[in-house]
Copies of this chain bind each other. A is one copy, B any other.
Amino acid sequence: MSIRHGLLALLERGPMYGYQLRSAFEESTGATWPLNVGQVYTTLSRLERDGLVRALPSSDRSQRPYEITEAGRAELASWFATPVDRGDRPRDELTIKLALALTTPGVDVRSVVRNQRAATLRTVQELTRLATPDPRPEGLPARLVLDAMLFQAEAEIRWLDHCETTLLRFASPPTAAADDARKASGVD
């Protein structure tokens, strides 16, 4: 529901029409997640259907500005006031992929880990390159978005490394016989 609330937040600045909303959204989120214009209109329709926004009467039929309603303001305030919970988050594809790779026959988990690590490392480098200091206050939101992506990517690297070392301790000897060997040697 990020787009819904995102548009509501933008309309809290004042009435805007679809095309403007798209530019404003992409400016705030730093073009990290491009937003199709069509999506803006469909989302606006749904917001209007739900009474959270209202189309303004406009002389210019080529631009249809919307304004946020009282119900919209309430919804928005509730959004900002409620922290994002762990249970709210969508399933993380990478986590699922690795978890399942462990028990899927014919899959070389370590190469999956290493491939992902290389890709994520490239992401880190690209993000670091993009996140050049921009002292203008207008650039602040986009900057923080980049930082968020960067922090996440770095955490992903750490997790992948953690996975690799854990795999070494656990699954390096793939046969059951090796299990006995580990037990006998008294590791951990």
- Point out residues on A near B: beta carbons under 8 Å: 1-3, 5-6, 9-10, 12-13, 28-30, 33, 76, 79-81, 83-86, 88-107, 112, 115-116, 118-120, 123, 135, 137, 140-145, 147-149, 151-156, 158-159, 162-163, 166, 170-171, 174, 179, 188
Question: Are A144 and B99 in contact, CB atoms less than 8 angstroms apart?
Answer: yes
Partner of A80, one of B13, B79, B101, B149: B101
Q: How far is the CA of A84 from the CA of B103 in the complex (A)?
A: 19
Question: Are B140 and A166 in contact, CB atoms less than 8 angstroms apart?
Answer: yes
| A141, chain B: closest CB distance, angstroms | 4
Contacts A155-B154, A170-B140 hold; do A9 and B104 have CB atoms under 8 A apart?
Answer: yes
**Chain B residues whose CB sits within 8 angstroms of the CB of A88 once the complex forms:** 93
Question: Are A104 and B13 in contact, CB atoms less than 8 angstroms apart?
Answer: yes
Partner of A102, one of B3, B107, B140: B140
Partner of A29, one of B96, B151, B153, B166: B96
Main secondary structure, interface of A, reads helix
| A160, chain B: closest CB distance, angstroms | 9
> Please, which residue of chain B has its CB at the minimum distance from the CB of A150?
B159
